[in-house]
Structure 1
């Protein structure tokens, strides 16, 4: 009896049961249930194939990363380093005067002025300030302006520097001179009155062939055509400098507020004035046009005959 009481009083010690995640439990249960069955063997084979495929894919990825590094990249790195080192050494040896060992007519990406403009922004110079860049001062760039836009023409000192054929343009906005051809007199940006160089001269003997109304309409058409010619002539030079890889745009001309109001209209220069002719008589312009076409046709026939004669001699 005493032994029974003692047995009842004894408490069973708790047994620690390990906590297993649901996924592992499920896996173990499935393994126990289907161990040795064909489906269990097939599942093992599928898992083994998946693991081998993952390893092969990782190996291919590693090989691809290895193949991406080709000798070409190393060659490009060496060439880039040599180019930068050459420019730096040239800059040091020339005391900051040249990145290209003193070569003239450098491309735009090797010109310090190009990068200075991109870094500092465009210049804004008054006409008086612009005159300081006419090429007469050493170590100063040569600037000229057209249509209020300033260009650096230092790459062509033979033309725009002292003694050059276009030196009169340097240090000025010579838009008017680019159209009229009067380099000395018209080194100004004022284009007023330039269209007169394309207008015919009035002549009483010629003008009497039209009535007053017809003559007024004719003059209006002539002024419109002359203004278009001035625009086209100026645009030609604007495009020349604007599209040039040799001359870089560096800034703009700062003109007085309200310009050119309050200033006198410039006089048409003598050279442009002498180029004007009398108005053509009715039908005379058409006759001249036909005569020009006939002359062109005659020259074309002569060239064709000359080519035919040369080919006959060769045969």
Structure 2
């Protein structure tokens, strides 16, 4: 495909005057703002495994701590046939790192029941994976050797426990992010391990095994999204997203328990540096907006997912 220059984008990209981007929550005014919002959408959607599709769970009414670190680098990498004559083009890499810890409201103790039994129920882990977006959850009952090997590799990368034969693996599909002329979908494959942590309490370990993000809609917009996210080169590249989430039962005052979530997410986004020329506020501002969008998604998803888990626990106590 012939390389498009910056001024060519402005000739075929339509103008939107008051469109709200679900990912960036940014109001778009004109072509340049629309391009910026596209890239913000790409940042959030690549982060989605831990974002919409992931088990980032917690509760709003309890003290929490959150830490966000953003930095960026640039590197020369090979490109496709549409690159410059030297066969290389400059890519910009945005690195987003998010960590958050939260706890649910207190709940009664299990009263003689084995709490591990509740964690082991077939529908308990999917409750967390479903999140606030009612994600579609499908268990992979017969994972192949390649998937299991990838699962082990990802566990090592995030310093998670080694997978066991009892682990379950799920495909989590989001409902999609709607953008004018574009709908972005994500499928995240997540491994779940149940183990015993402090004071004999049960814990979940959620590890992102792999993820894929794809767009549907206007052909030109789909091409732009693939170009902006580097999806046209991701087939043979390393994972762009790494995530580890630990959910545990913890004792609280008066003999009760609470459910605590510790989530960490690392996202790398690469796209051609020439696209930065059409972003009004530059790379640093784009990183800031993208990081804020990612954090907002976590804050939206965590309370709903963990509260739903707690409610199901309360129903389990009454059976």
For normalisation by structure 2, the TM-score amounts to 0.29
Q: Higher relative contact order at CA 8 Å, sep ≥6: structure 1 or structure 2? A: 2
For normalisation by structure 1, the TM-score amounts to 0.30
| Structure exhibiting the larger radius of gyration computed from Cα positions | 1
